[in-house]
Amino acid sequence: MSSGMQTKGLAAQLRAGLFHAKEGVTSAELQATAAPECSRSQITRALNAMRGTGLVSRTPDAGGTRWRLTPATRIKVAKTMTSAAENSARRTTPTVIPSHTVPAHAVVALSPAQKKANESARISQEIAEFEANGGCIEVLGNTPIRRAADYRQSMSGIAQV
């Protein structure tokens, strides 16, 4: 078993059901309360596996076999449930700060689209300033590239321009 206790799955459901039943429960009662979607044989197999690892104990009773958490497991489950409740209580929605209240020296994370838009605006501004100061922009690379004429094209006059 790992150092942490799983919080999902059949074993976790059974542990929670056994934790709330202090005097123990039968597998039928556990099926009805903790894992109604599972068959009785699945629950019994899971309980027997948990018994093999020392998580639960069983005692024969007139009404059937009663399953209980071992004291060590009960303490672990209590800690797990407490820490899960504390974590969910701590987990709140992040506070949104309006942009006009962010100080000028604060670093603000930008999305890639925002970065691209800022860069595009900066380049447009530089081009406008350059042209306003009398600069001339020459666009290179728009001339279509002609392939070298092969023998037939040169003989038929297609290559002459």
pLDDT digits over 113-122, tens only?
Answer: 888 999 999 9
The answer to whether residue 43 is domain-embedded is: yes
The answer to whether residue 139 is domain-embedded is: no
Angle at 94 between CA 92 and CA 96, to 5 degrees: 145
**What is the pTM assigned to this prediction?**
0.47
DSSP H or E run through 57: strand 56-61
Backbone angles phi, psi at 4, to 5 degrees: -95, 155
The answer to whether residue 68 is domain-embedded is: yes
Total structural domains within the chain: 1
Q: Residues with Cβ < 8 Å from 108, sequence gap 6 or more? A: 99, 102
- What is the extent of the structural domain holding 23? 10-87
Q: Which CATH number covers residue 69? A: 1.10.10.10
CB 67 within 8 A of CB 56: yes
The answer to whether residue 15 is domain-embedded is: yes
pLDDT, tens digit (0-9, with 9 covering 90-100), for 30-66: 878 878 888 888 888 888 888 888 888 888 888 788 8
